[in-house]
Amino acid sequence: MLAKTLVSIGQGAGLPITALLTDMNEVLGRTVGHALEMGEVVAYLTTSQTRGRGCTRSRWRWRRKCCKLGGLCASADEGRKKAQSALDGGRVAEIFSRMVSALGGPRDYLENYARYRLPAKVIKPFRAVRAGTITGMDARAVGVAAIALGGGRRTASDVIDPTVGFSDFRPVGTRVEAGDVIALVHARNAMEADAAIAELQEAVRISDDAPALQPLISARITAQTPEYALDGLAPKTQPGHAAIGNDVEPDELDRSMGGDLFGKAMFRCLRRAFVPAG
């Protein structure tokens, strides 16, 4: 649904857009959490040794597609080469630094990241309870566990703690022994860390047999995808109304989002894209 929505918004703005879907079978990267993910971004932009995981393959597919959709190259392969050159040459890091600065952040964020990083008060290991191979993860459950740590909102008034989350996640296919560290839990206190560890034990699957190799990208959605039409988002004839979910009125849904600025912005884009003018 989200992928279809994003494609629809792009089409409504007259932009070529494609959504690439993964199977949500593992964490795409090494980290979960605001400051932790920023650290992963910094490492990726500045250290080539961090570019060997599965998330790198997905990133390259997105880059190649973006270059082609944006008219910067004639083919996906050419897009890959241009993206690699920009990354290796430092151009990507330079643009990232300019973005941070333009948003009010420090100009030397990349160069002096250690000075700006936000450490959590408690860091505890999540260990394998048995020997075997990591065959999958409930990625949604991992995200919910991060929210419980304070890394996300349950209500609009909740305050996000950017320091909490998970780091050093071992990928699907990793062979582990009992007691091996699968991830590090970053928390505000030991009790919340232990609760998150219990959630991760349920979310991460360890089996005797190695998992079958699955394609990284499970689906591609464009405006030409047969299922492109969004259920419940067809324009109504009455001006100023659109059916979103269970026929929620636009103003009512807007109010219910409270302080969720991203949600409000996205909904307003939807309203402009799907509600008839009048």
pLDDT tens-digit map of 67-101: 655 667 777 777 778 878 888 888 889 999 999 99
Identify whether 261 is part of a domain.
yes
* Number of structural domains found in the chain: 3
Asked if residue 217 has pLDDT above 90, the reply is no
pLDDT of residue 164: 97
CB 35 within 8 A of CB 46: no
Angle made by CA atoms 259, 263, 268, in degrees to the nearest 5:
110
Identify whether 153 is part of a domain.
yes
pTM of the model as a whole: 0.72
CB 61 within 8 A of CB 20: yes
pLDDT of residue 222: 80
Tell me which residue has tokens 């009010």: 104
pLDDT of residue 142: 96
Mean pLDDT of 52-69: 55
Q: For the ranges 140-154, 168-182, 217-231, which has the lowest average pLDDT? A: 217-231
Q: For the ranges 14-28, 53-67, 113-127, 226-240, which has the lowest average pLDDT? A: 226-240
Pairing relation of β-strands 181-187 and 19-21?
Answer: unpaired
Identify whether 39 is part of a domain.
no
| CB burial string 109-119: b at 16+ within 10 A, e below | bbeebeebeee
Chain-wide mean pLDDT for the chain?
A: 77
> Which amino acid makes up residue 227?
E
Asked if residue 241 has pLDDT above 50, the reply is no
Report the greatest alpha carbon distance in the chain: 64
Last residue within a domain, chosen from 175, 207, 239: 207
Residues 6+ apart with CB under 8 A from 134: 170, 171, 172, 173, 174, 176, 182, 204, 205, 206, 211
Pairing relation of β-strands 122-127 and 219-221?
Answer: unpaired
Whether residue 126 is found in the same domain as residue 67: no
Q: How many whole angstroms separate alpha carbon 124 and alpha carbon 199?
A: 14
Identify whether 87 is part of a domain.
yes
Confidence grade of residue 9 (pLDDT, cut at 50, 70, 90): confident
CB 134 within 8 A of CB 173: yes
Whether residue 151 is found in the same domain as residue 183: yes
Asked if residue 263 has pLDDT above 50, the reply is no
pLDDT of residue 73: 74
Domain that holds residue 245: 229-274
